[in-house]
């Protein structure tokens, strides 16, 4: 389903976002991608969606050779992928139904196809009764379920979920995980980028851990990459390129039980 072979991606500021990354995700897999901010997780999803192109290496997603994809074909790659976002990305002036219909309209689905498909995807996420609601009338969890329904609308083979539970409380996050798990059981491949150790530990799925652009762990099971990190790596806080402050990172590391080494120790 997804194949990365020796993929390297460097941004303008000479930071190696991904460094010789190789992995293979089979059809029907459920894979977590973990790693701290700036480790290269978002670069990974951007490469899958062809929002960025790698410097070297080969990427295949489904039937698409992403590294050689022409501009014209990019939309068709994206039609085969359902995206779920941390911030839901719903249109506030459209109802639940219209939000999902929008995703189908813009790739040229007929009204007939839309009328048939939407009840199906709404029932998959358990929101049949909320079709006429506007996003601001829904809870965060419900909004994310709309986001998932929208991702499913065009019947993708692959769902890429970027921190789908990042803005939700624990209980709601579990609802979302249950839905994603169910979708996976029906055969859809799922890649989920997350920070949540609890979820990863509980789900017991394949975990790809990225640190400083390298895959430091790729195996079935929980969020155990912190061991790897604490043994092999000295954290360098200036390295973090994303908006997160020092305090946030500390909290995050504490949550992961990571021992912080100072450079001179």
Nearer to other proteins, 16 or 79 (CB): 79
Site string for other proteins, 150-189 (x = CB under 8 A): x--xx-----------------------------------
- Token duo for residue 109: 């689905």
215 Rama class: left (phi>0) / alpha (psi -120 to 50) / beta:
beta
Task: Give the closest residue to 67 by CA, choosing from 75, 57, 76.
Answer: 57
- CA 61 to CA 49: how far, in whole Å? 9
- CA 109 to CA 37: how far, in whole Å? 37
Please report how close the Cβ of residue 159 comes to other proteins at its closest, in angstroms: 12
Please report how close the Cβ of residue 1 comes to other proteins at its closest, in angstroms: 17
Site string for other proteins, 41-70 (x = CB under 8 A): --------x---------------------
- DSSP-derived secondary structure letter, 138: S
What DSSP string describes 160-207? EEESTTTTS-HHHHHHHHHHHHHHHHTT-EEEEE---HHHHHHHTEEE
The pair phi, psi for residue 214, each rounded to 5°, is: -115, 150
- Number of helices and strands in the chain (H, E): 9, 10
Please report how close the Cβ of residue 83 comes to other proteins at its closest, in angstroms: 4
Helices (H), the chain: 41-48, 74-79, 96-105, 111-124, 140-153, 170-185, 197-203, 225-232, 246-255
Residue 198 in contact with other proteins, rule: CB under 8 A: no
Please report how close the Cβ of residue 75 comes to other proteins at its closest, in angstroms: 4
Please report how close the Cβ of residue 158 comes to other proteins at its closest, in angstroms: 12
From the list 9, 41, 46, 78, which residue makes contact with other proteins (rule: CB under 8 A)? Answer: 78
Site stretch for other proteins (CB under 8 A), options 149-157, 177-185, 192-200, 206-214: 149-157
Q: Residues touching other proteins: how many (CB under 8 A)?
A: 26
Site stretch for other proteins (CB under 8 A), options 82-90, 190-198, 201-209, 215-223: 82-90
From the list 52, 105, 218, 252, which residue makes contact with other proteins (rule: CB under 8 A)? Answer: 105
- CA 187 to CA 152: how far, in whole Å? 12
- Token duo for residue 88: 């839901």
From the list 11, 68, 76, 251, which residue makes contact with other proteins (rule: CB under 8 A)? Answer: 76
Site stretch for other proteins (CB under 8 A), options 80-88, 120-128, 183-191, 231-239: 80-88
Please report how close the Cβ of residue 76 comes to other proteins at its closest, in angstroms: 7
- DSSP-derived secondary structure letter, 209: E
Please report how close the Cβ of residue 135 comes to other proteins at its closest, in angstroms: 11
Q: Which residues bind other proteins (CB under 8 A)?
A: 49, 71-72, 75-83, 85, 89, 91, 102-103, 105-108, 110-111, 150, 153-154
């Amino acid at each position: 389903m997804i194949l990365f072979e020796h993929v390297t991606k460097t941004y303008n500021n000479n930071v190696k976002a991904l460094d010789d990354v190789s992995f293979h995700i089979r059809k029907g897999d459920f894979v977590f991608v973990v790693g701290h901010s700036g480790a290269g997780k978002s670069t990974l999803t951007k490469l899958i969606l062809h929002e960025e192109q790698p410097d070297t290496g080969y990427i295949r997603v489904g039937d698409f050779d992403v590294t050689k994809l022409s501009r014209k074909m990019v939309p068709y790659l994206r039609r085969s992928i359902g995206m779920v976002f941390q911030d839901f990305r719903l249109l506030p002036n459209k109802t639940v139904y219209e939000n999902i219909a929008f995703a189908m309209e813009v790739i040229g689905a007929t009204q007939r196809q839309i009328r048939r498909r939407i009840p199906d995807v709404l029932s998959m996420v358990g929101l049949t009764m909320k079709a006429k609601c506007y996003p601001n009338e829904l809870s965060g969890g419900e909004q994310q379920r709309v986001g998932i329904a929208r991702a499913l609308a065009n019947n993708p083979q692959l769902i890429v979920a970027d921190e789908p539970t990042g803005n939700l409380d624990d209980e709601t996050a579990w609802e979302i995980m249950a839905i994603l798990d169910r979708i996976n059981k029906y055969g859809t491949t799922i890649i989920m980028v997350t920070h949540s150790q609890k979820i990863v530990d509980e789900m017991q799925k394949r975990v790809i851990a990225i640190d400083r652009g390298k895959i430091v762990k790729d195996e079935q099971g929980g969020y155990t990459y912190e061991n790897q990190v604490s043994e092999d790596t000295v954290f360098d806080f200036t390295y973090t390129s994303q908006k997160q402050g020092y305090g946030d990172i500390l909290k995050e590391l504490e949550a992961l039980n990571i021992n912080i080494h100072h450079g001179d120790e």
